[in-house]
Structure 1
Amino acid sequence: MVTASSTFGGSAPASGAASPSPAPPTIRVRHLWHRFANRDVLRDVTFDVGPGEIFGFIGPNGAGKTTTIRVMATLLEPMAGRVEIDGIDVTLDPDAVRKVIGYMPDHAGVYDRITVREYLEFFADSFRVPSISVVDAVLELTDLGKLQDRLVAEMSKGMKQRLQLARILLHDPKVLILDEPASDLDPRARIEIRDLLLELRGLGKTIFLSSHILTELSDVCTSIGILERGRLVVAGPIHEISARLEAIRAAEAHGHAPPPRYVPPGVRALVPAQAAQAAPASPEAAGVVQSAPVAGAAVAATDPSASAAPQPQAPQPIPQAPSVRRVKLRVLGNPEAAAYFLRGGPGIVEVHVMGGLVHVGYTGTETKIAEMVTHLVHRNIGIVGVEPERNELERIFLEVTRGDVQ
C-alpha cells in the first residue's frame, strides 16, 4: 500500500556518505520589476529561498506579494528581471516550472457539488497522475480520509483550504507556493493548516508562504522577506536579521553609524526605512536585465556610509549588544517563587510573572533554557511547560518598515 510518507517524502542520505556541497537555492529571484499602467508594483526585488525552507513573504495589502507570486507561478511575465524555480526560468520554460510547483491562490474556488474524493480524482486525472493510489496518500496526509464521501459544499472554510492543499499535492511538487493560505480561517483551522505545513516541510517540501498576519508565520517560518511599496526591505533567517538590527541599535546607542559591511550570512538585503527612496526609479535606470547581485550587495548599495571617504583615524570598535531571547515557563505551584530563584542568575536579563507564567529574558543559546529548568527542578519547582515567546517577527516588521502604502 502506498503511504503518504513513501509517496511525498524524500529519501535520507546513506550512512557514512560524504557531506554534500551547499545546495543551490530552490527559488531564485533577481532584480524583479513589474508595472501596472504607470505604477511600479515591484521594484528591483531580489532574494533566495533555500531547499526545505518555509519562507514567509510579509507585507501590507498592496505591497506586491501577490504579483510576485503570480510571476513565480508562471501566470504573469515580469517586466524585467529573472525568476528561477528549481533552476528553471519561469519565463523561458513555464511548462517545466508547473511540474515542480503546487500553487494555491488566495480565495481559490472549489467545485461544490461533488465529493472530496471525486474532486481529488478529477484533478489527479488532470495532472495525469499515473496511479489513483496517490489520492489515498493525499487524503491520509491531509487528514481528509473521513470526509472523502462528503460533498465539498458541506465543508467548512478550513476544510476547503485543506482540500486545496490536497489538490496541489497530487503531482508531488517540490515547491509549494501559497498565497494567504490561512485567510479568513477560524483559530482552530489556522492551527491545523500550520501543523500541516510543518509536516510538509518535514517531507522535504520547500514552502513559499505569503501573509500580512504575522502570527500566522512566527511559529512556522525559517526565513522571511518583508516587502513594502514594491521593494524588498529585508530578507533572510529571522535570527540573523535580528542580530543585524541589534548591531544597528548598539551602534546608534554609542553615537556611531551602523557598520556598513556587516552582513550576516543568508541576509540578502537590509535597507534602512529612511533610505527606501534611494532605489532606482525604473528598471531601465537600474539595468536590471544585465546583471545579478552578489550576496549582500543590496546593503552596500543603499548604505550611504559604504561609499563615504575614509576617515583620517580608524573608527573605534562598536560594542555589540547581546541579543536578548525570551521564554515563558509554566510551573507547578507559586510562579513568584520560580521567578525569585531565577532573578540575578548568569545570563538572566529580566524576570517577571504575568498571567500565571514566568517570563524570562536571557542571553546565550537554548542551553540556557535547560539550565533554568534544571535550576528550578533542583529547588523542587516543577516545570510543566516551556514556550519561547514569539514576538520577534513583529518587532522586526515594525522596525524595518515605515507603514507606507502604494
Structure 2
Amino acid sequence: MTTATTTAPAIRVRHLWHRFGRFDVLRDVSFDVAHGEIFGFIGPNGAGKTTTIRVMSTLLEPLAGRVEIDGYDVTIDPDAVRKIIGYMPDHAGVYERVTVREYLEFFADAYRVPTAGTSYAVVDAVMELTDLTKLRDKLVATMSKGMKQRLQLARTLLHDPKVLILDEPASDLDPRARIEIRDLLVELRNLGKTIFLSSHILTELADVCTSVAILERGRLVVSGPISEIARRLEPPPAPAPSEGAPAVPAPSPSEVRGSPRPTFNAAGGSGWGAAAPIPTRTVKLRVLAPGEAVAAALTGMPNVHRVAPGPAHTVLVTYAGDDTMVAYIVRALVMANIGVSGVEPERNELERIFLEVTKGEVQ
C-alpha cells in the first residue's frame, strides 16, 4: 500500500497510456494538479479526456503509467482514492421518482456518511451549499437539466471529498445554469477543494481555471498555469538598442500628429500602406467616438498595426506587445479626448493558447 504525503500534489499523472484494441487512446500523458486549483482538462471530442478521468476515478486500469490522487495510487489503493474523490461523470442519470432530499439521503447512506439517528445534517449542509434547500421536497423528475446537474454535484459532496473530478459538468446547460455552476465551483475552491474539470467549451473554463492541460489525439500538448503558458507563447522581445542609442518612449498623440495616418478600414483590412510586423494580439475597445477618430489618435504609434470596426459599436486595435502596450493605447485615446468605456481582448487568453498549440487533428 502506498502512503499519502503532505507534499504530494492533489493529482499526479505520469506516463499514462491506454489502448482499446490496437488504438492508442492515451499516449505518454504526464501532468500535475496542485492542491486548491481549478484545473481545466481541455481537448476536442475523442482526445482522451474521459478515458483519463475514468483512470483517475479508479473505473479503468491503465495500460501503462501511474496515477496518484493525494499520494494514493489509483491501481494499488483504489478504496483509499474513492474516499477522497468526488466523481461526476458526463451525462450521468439520476433517480427521478424520489424527492431531492430522498435522493441525497440515499447516497449519504451509500457513502456511509455518519448520521445521528434519523438526522441527516450533512444532507442539509450540502443542500444549502448547492442552493437546493428550497427544492428539498421537489420530485427529481420535474427538475430542469441545470438543477439535475446541481443535484449531481451535491451528491458528489456528501462525503466531503478533497478532490472533485468533473467530466463536462456544464454540458447541455443553458447560459444561466452554466453561470450558476461556474460560481458554485469557485465557491468550492474557496472552501479548499481541488477541482479537476474536463471540458471542450473554453468559455466555461477561462474565467475559473488557474491551470490547464490541453490534450490532442491522446497526447499532452501543454500543461501548467494559464499565465505561464501564455508567457511561453509570447514572441521574443525586440532587441535592445545599441549602446549610446537614445531610448524611444511610447509617443503621445501630440508627438505623432505629423506622422502618416492609418486608415480606418471598414472591411477589416490593414489600411496601413507599408508592410507591418505580424500582429500578435487584438484588443477590443468600446469608445465614445467614431472609429476614424480612434485611428487618427493612434497615428504613428509604434507596434500598432491595424484599427478596424468590431461588433456592437466597438473598435479592434491590433498590436504587438503585452498589457503595457494596451495601457499606452488607452492613454493615447484619453489624451485625444476620446472616452474609453471598455477594454477586453478580442479572444480570451485560453482560446488563444488552444488555437496556437493545437493543430485541429482528431483521432
Q: TM-score of the superposition, structure 1-length normalised?
A: 0.68
Aligned to 1:102: 86
The letter for the 2-side match of 1:105 is P
- 1:161 Cα deviation from its structure 2 partner: 0.8
Aligned to 2:137: 149
Deviations 1:55-89 (A, max 9, x none): 21122222211110011001111111111111111
Deviations 1:10-57 (A, max 9, x none): xxxxxxxxxxxx964211100111122222211111111112222211
1:92 to 1:137, Cα distance in 2 relative to 1, 3 A: same
Aligned to 1:75: 59
Q: Is the 8 A contact 2:216 2:362 kept in 1?
A: yes
1:348 to 1:168, Cα distance in 2 relative to 1, 3 A: farther
- Is 1:194 paired with 2:182? yes
The letter for the 2-side match of 1:58 is I
Aligned mates of 2:295, 2:163 — CA distance in 1: 45
Alignment of 1:43-122 (within 5 A): 43-122=27-106
Could you tell which deviates more after superposition, 353-362 or 183-192?
A: 353-362
1:338 to 1:174, Cα distance in 2 relative to 1, 3 A: farther
Aligned to 1:218: 206
Alignment of 1:209-358 (within 5 A): 209-247=197-235, 326-331=282-287, 333-334=288-289, 336=291, 341=297, 351-354=307-310, 355-358=312-315
The letter for the 2-side match of 1:400 is V
Q: Give ranges in structure 2 of 5+ residues lacking alignment.
A: 1-5, 239-276
Secondary structure of 2:25's counterpart equals: strand
Aligned mates of 1:340, 1:121 — CA distance in 2: 66
- Is 1:36 paired with 2:24? no
- 1:323 Cα deviation from its structure 2 partner: 10
Q: Is the 8 A contact 1:112 1:152 kept in 2?
A: yes
Deviations 1:144-170 (A, max 9, x none): 222222111011111111111111112
- 1:366 Cα deviation from its structure 2 partner: 5.2
Q: TM-score of the superposition, structure 2-length normalised?
A: 0.75
- Is 1:393 paired with 2:350? yes
The letter for the 2-side match of 1:27 is I
1:187 to 1:37, Cα distance in 2 relative to 1, 3 A: same
Secondary structure of 2:234's counterpart equals: helix
Deviations 1:86-137 (A, max 9, x none): 1111111111111111100011010101111221122122222235222222
Could you tell which deviates more after superposition, 137-146 or 353-362?
A: 353-362
The letter for the 2-side match of 1:334 is A
1:360 to 1:115, Cα distance in 2 relative to 1, 3 A: farther
Aligned to 1:402: 359
Q: Is the 8 A contact 1:343 1:351 kept in 2?
A: no
1:92 to 1:240, Cα distance in 2 relative to 1, 3 A: same
Q: Give the structure with higher Rg (CA).
A: 2
Q: Is the 8 A contact 2:279 2:305 kept in 1?
A: no
Aligned mates of 2:189, 2:346 — CA distance in 1: 22
- 1:378 Cα deviation from its structure 2 partner: 7.4
The sequence identity of aligned pairs, in percent, is: 75
Q: Is the 8 A contact 2:19 2:26 kept in 1?
A: yes
- 1:142 Cα deviation from its structure 2 partner: 1.7
Alignment of 1:15-30 (within 5 A): 24-30=8-14
Aligned mates of 1:249, 1:373 — CA distance in 2: 22
Aligned to 2:241: none
Aligned mates of 1:324, 1:198 — CA distance in 2: 31
Aligned mates of 1:117, 1:382 — CA distance in 2: 53
Aligned mates of 2:237, 2:61 — CA distance in 1: 40
Q: Is the 8 A contact 1:180 1:211 kept in 2?
A: yes
1:358 to 1:402, Cα distance in 2 relative to 1, 3 A: closer
- 1:386 Cα deviation from its structure 2 partner: 4.3
Secondary structure of 1:166's counterpart equals: helix
Q: Is the 8 A contact 2:284 2:344 kept in 1?
A: yes
Aligned to 1:162: 150
Q: Is the 8 A contact 1:326 1:362 kept in 2?
A: yes
Aligned mates of 2:67, 2:343 — CA distance in 1: 41
Deviations 1:280-306 (A, max 9, x none): xxxxxxxxxxxxxxxxxxxxxxxxxxx
1:380 to 1:167, Cα distance in 2 relative to 1, 3 A: farther
1:357 to 1:41, Cα distance in 2 relative to 1, 3 A: same
Count of matched residue pairs: 314
Secondary structure of 2:87's counterpart equals: strand
Aligned mates of 1:373, 1:364 — CA distance in 2: 14
1:27 to 1:374, Cα distance in 2 relative to 1, 3 A: same
Could you tell which deviates more after superposition, 363-372 or 150-159?
A: 363-372
Secondary structure of 1:48's counterpart equals: strand
1:397 to 1:135, Cα distance in 2 relative to 1, 3 A: same
Secondary structure of 2:31's counterpart equals: strand
Q: Is the 8 A contact 2:28 2:219 kept in 1?
A: yes
Aligned mates of 1:377, 1:233 — CA distance in 2: 41
Aligned mates of 2:63, 2:19 — CA distance in 1: 7
